Structure formats: structure tokens, C-alpha cells
């Protein structure tokens, strides 16, 4: 929770359980997934203070739902803005993701905000998708973060606030129990660059303070804020020791056995 001077203190014991989620992005085949699932299934117990999820390409969700260990939740990487069946060719509805047994969906990942040879998703669209996903019974990892030039010109929190404002406008206070914020500095995704633990903590604390000021202090104290910028086994412990870093949204490391080094890097 933010102190009067703007700094933060760790959550009370048990208040925020670490959330470590793998984002496989557009990676995998039936054969390679089978090998990785075997690795994860044999990786040993998950610490009691850590919640683990894997978000894979939608075509492989049934494979993971039928083969991955029960103490790892499954999620999709996006969902449609449609809240029901209909003429939405190519879209996958949040209600369909929930229907097959998933728990989570990632919304607003920087790659989708930027776009793939097409216009990217706007903050308003990301907020609308989140509303639809929560109404369908899913939990949402909502991604926010700045580009390198925005970090350098000192507007990191302005960017994060502009992405959070439409979200806050469509959620009730109780809806926030279904939300995790994934802070992902865009310049540190897939580049090998990582914000120092101190840099990441500073931004996480600012995000928590924004939520306290614009939603409620209670929500700010409970919402989990993951770090999503090239977290891996080698740096997970130092990042997760920071009082406002409540887990990670893991890219490349989630495609290897190193993912469990991150899981086990959470402070006890």
C-alpha cells in the first residue's frame, strides 16, 4: 500500500499471492508442446504462495487442458470483443474460452496494441474486451507499459495511466478481484533487456498508487501487478523480492524448463 510519502510497503502475509504466468505467444506444435508439458509435469511441487498459469495459442488450449498438471491454470492470449455467438468470423469469444475450461485470458499485450501489419488495439478496445471476459467468468491479465522513447522522455506513468483509465471506467470495484495488471516495458520484451529491480519497483509502486487514487485503496492493496519484461530464472528472485512486484508474465523462459526457476524464485 502507498505510504504518505508515496513509497510502498509489502502486502500483508497472504494478501497477494504471486502470479507467475507463461505467455507462449505464437510458439509450439503438438509435438513440442507434449515435450514441454512433460517437463512441467515433472518439475516438482509449486510453492504454496505461487499461482501458476500458462497462456498458449488458442488452437492448443485443448491439448494443455487435457495433459498439463492440474495445479497449473490454462489461459488464452486474447479474446474477441463479442459477448455472444454470431457473425464474427475468426474471433474466439471469451464465453467459448471459458466453456472449454480455461481460467485466464491475456488482454492488451503490447504486441497486440502495436498490431501485426494492421492497426493495433486501442485502450478503449482493450477495456471493452476485459469487460466481456469478466462477464464470461474469466480472469484477466491486463497488460500495460511504455516504449523505450517514452521511458527516456519521462512519460512512463502517463502512458500507463492512459491505458488504465478506460479499464477503470468499465469495472466495478468488485470486478478488480478478477484482474491482474501485467506491467511490461515494451523495450524489455524479447530484447534481453530488463528493467533493474529498482526501476521495475518504482513503476509498480506508481501503478499501485494510481489505482489507490483512482479506484480505491482496498483494490490497490489486493490487485496483483506482474512484471513482464524478460523475466527469467536468473533475475526472478531479485525482481520478485520487490514489495510491489507480485509475479511475472513470462515469455521466452516459459518455453523451457527455466520457467520453473521463475516459479521457485518467489520469496517464501
Q: How far apart are CA 191 and CA 254, in angstroms?
A: 15
Query: CA–CA distance from 7 to each of 111, 181, 202, 207 (Å)?
Result: 31, 19, 8, 11
CA atoms of 130 and 94, how far apart (whole Å): 9
Residues 6+ apart with CB under 8 A from 151: 185, 187
Q: Which of 109, 121, 202, 204 is catalytic?
A: 109
Q: Is 117 part of the annotated catalytic residue set? A: no
Q: What is the DSSP string of 194-244?
A: ---HHHHHHHHHHHHHHHHHHT-HHHHHH-EEEE-SS--HHHHHHHHTSTT
Known active-site residue 109: yes
The catalytically annotated residue of 51, 146, 184, 202 is: 184
Catalytic residues: 109, 184
Amino acid at each position: 500500500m502507498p505510504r504518505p510519502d508515496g513509497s510502498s510497503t509489502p502486502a500483508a502475509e497472504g494478501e497477494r499471492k504471486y502470479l507467475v504466468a507463461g505467455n507462449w505467444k505464437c510458439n509450439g506444435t503438438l509435438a513440442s508442446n507434449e515435450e514441454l508439458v512433460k517437463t512441467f509435469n515433472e518439475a516438482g511441487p509449486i510453492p504454496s504462495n505461487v499461482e501458476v498459469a500458462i497462456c498458449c495459442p488458442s488452437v492448443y488450449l485443448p491439448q494443455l487442458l487435457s495433459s498439463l498438471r492440474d495445479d497449473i491454470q490454462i489461459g488464452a492470449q486474447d479474446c474477441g470483443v463479442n459477448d455472444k455467438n454470431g457473425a464474427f468470423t475468426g474471433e474466439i469469444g471469451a464465453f467459448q474460452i471459458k466453456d472449454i475450461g480455461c481460467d485466464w485470458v491475456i488482454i492488451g499485450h503490447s504486441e497486440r496494441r502495436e498490431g501485426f501489419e494492421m492497426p493495433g488495439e486501442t485502450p478503449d478496445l482493450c477495456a471493452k474486451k476485459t469487460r466481456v471476459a469478466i462477464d464470461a467468468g474469466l480472469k484477466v491479465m491486463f497488460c500495460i507499459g511504455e516504449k523505450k522513447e517514452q521511458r527516456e522522455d519521462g512519460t512512463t506513468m502517463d502512458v500507463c495511466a492512459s491505458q488504465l483509465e478506460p479499464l477503470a471506467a468499465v469495472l466495478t470495484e468488485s470486478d478488480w478481484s478478477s484482474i491482474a495488471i501485467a506491467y511490461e516495458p515494451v523495450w524489455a520484451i524479447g530484447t534481453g533487456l530488463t528493467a533493474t529491480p529498482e526501476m521495475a519497483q518504482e513503476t509498480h509502486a506508481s501503478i499501485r498508487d494510481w489505482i489507490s487514487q483512482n479506484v480505491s485503496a482496498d483494490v490497490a492493496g489486493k490487485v496483483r501487478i506482474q512484471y513482464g519484461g524478460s523475466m527469467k530464472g536468473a533475475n526472478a528472485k531479485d525482481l520478485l523480492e520487490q514489495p510491489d512486484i507480485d509475479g511475472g508474465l513470462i515469455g521466452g523462459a516459459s518455453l523451457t524448463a527455466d520457467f520453473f526457476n521463475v516459479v521457485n524464485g518467489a520469496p517464501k
